[in-house]
Structure 1
Amino acid sequence: MGKGKIAAQCSHAAVGAFEKAQKKDPESLKIWQSTGQAKIALKTDSLEEIKQINDNAKKLGLITSMIRDAGRTQIAANSITVLGVGPAPKDIIDKVTGHLKLL
């Protein structure tokens, strides 16, 4: 994916996670909003790793937002492109993403 496409996909994940947090965990969302709304872009080596992170995050009760592309530009339709995790305390998110490198 090009830089603009990555940015758009990450934005979709952030919005999706925000919407889920409004319903599932509004208290954590309020804390996140009042403490700077941290967002970090990380990279994985494979689709399988994205799926494993998603599974691990869900086991810890974290909100996730898995994004599938519509296929209108650079990516095949229905391809998983990005996974949003959180909002949640950094120490909990690090349990599932702490091994990843910055994008």
Structure 2
Amino acid sequence: MPWIMLVAAGILEVLWAYTMKLSHGFTRPLYAVITLVAVVVSFALLSLAMRSLPLGTAYTIWTGIGAIGSFIIGLCFLGEAASAARIFAAALIVAGLIIMKLAS
């Protein structure tokens, strides 16, 4: 159950990052509200997962899901550049997440 909560928290981190971008500095109320709700729920799920998972593992996985998910959202929906260097960097993050999971 802690891993499910952690993955859900990471997905919500992607959601709040994306909706924060769409809120244009919190000037669009709907996106601002979605951002704030997603932040609160993401942190709550992270804190629940940390009851059972080590701090370093939980936080690394949470931020990694957020980083990779946000990178993918940026590529797919925001027209951000998909340069070889950015894709390689994302692959390194994924490799680190896999190693972190295997080590815990």
TM-score by length of 2: 0.37
Structure 1 or 2, whichever has the larger Rg, is 2
Q: Which has the higher strand share?
A: 1
TM-score by length of 1: 0.37
Q: Which has the higher helix share?
A: 2
